[in-house]
Amino acid sequence: MIRNTLAFVLAALCVTASHAQASSAKKDLIAKVLQAQRPAIESIARNLAEQPAADLLERAGAAIGARIAPDKRDAVARQIQADARKYVDEAVPYVREQAVRLGPSTIGALLDERLSEDELRQLLAILESPVYAKFQTLGAEMQEVLGKKLIADTQSTIEPKIKALEQTMASRLGLPSPGAARPAARAASRADKAR
């Protein structure tokens, strides 16, 4: 009986030691995944920190036109933009630092719960792959070429819908209907961008 108990205790210790090593190895893999994803985590933080300033700038733009004398609009707009830049310069580093600090307890916990150690190894191999890194660098270019082609292919269908929406909105707001000068201005703007 003592021999069975001793065997059981030894077996339990081996399983516990194996689990501790696996947990330690899994934690190391999660830390490496988080490090590989740090730019994405920082980008999320930047977007979260900048969004309130962007929203406030948009609202301020509308208010400036309605509440500020025409001769003072540019100066007030510059001051408000400087205030927003100051906020962003202060908020982004703080929020970015907090996001990186919270990564292990949030994203790391999710990875630990949902992915096995083998899956984490596979994920890490993908994230550290030179091909994946090269693919990531193509993101902006892929977006640009798709966007240009999409605009070219849908413009004839979408532009009349935009004009109809502009007219409906102008009517609801009691504003004059957008004139023929607006499409000409848009065409000139597109021509300038194409150069």
The predicted-structure confidence for 111-148, as pLDDT tens digits, reads as follows: 999 999 999 999 999 999 999 989 988 988 998 999 89
Confidence of residue 75 (pLDDT cuts 50, 70, 90): very high
Q: Which two tokens stand for residue 1?
A: 């009986």
pLDDT tens digit sequence for 3-39: 544 344 444 444 444 444 448 999 999 999 999 999 9
- Coil, helix or strand for 68? coil
pLDDT at position 175, please?
82
User: Tokens 């310069």 label which residue?
Assistant: 89
Which residue has better confidence, 172 or 96?
96
Q: What is the mean pLDDT of the chain?
A: 83
Could you tell me if 161 and 168 are in contact, meaning their C-beta atoms sit under 8 angstroms apart?
no
* Strand, helix or coil for residue 138: coil
**Is the confidence at residue 92, as pLDDT, over 80?**
yes
CA 22/CA 28 separation, integer angstroms? 10
**How far is residue 166's CA from residue 48's CA, in Å, rounded to a whole number?**
31
Percent of the chain with pLDDT over 70: 79
Give the residue from 19, 20, 28, 41 showing the smallest Cα distance to 106: 41
**Is the pLDDT confidence value at 93 over 70?**
yes
| pLDDT at residue 121, as a whole number | 96
Q: Indicate the pTM of the whole model.
A: 0.63
How far apart (Å, rounded) are the C-alpha atoms in residues 59 and 21? Answer: 55
Provide the residue ranges of all domains of the chain, joining segments of one domain with +.
2-137, 139-195
Q: Which pLDDT tens digit goes with each residue over 156-195?
A: 999 998 888 888 877 876 788 876 445 545 555 555 555 5
* CB neighbours of residue 33 within 10 Å: 22
Q: How many CB atoms sit inside 10 A of residue 66's CB?
A: 6
User: At residue 16, what are phi and psi to the nearest 5 degrees?
Assistant: -65, -45
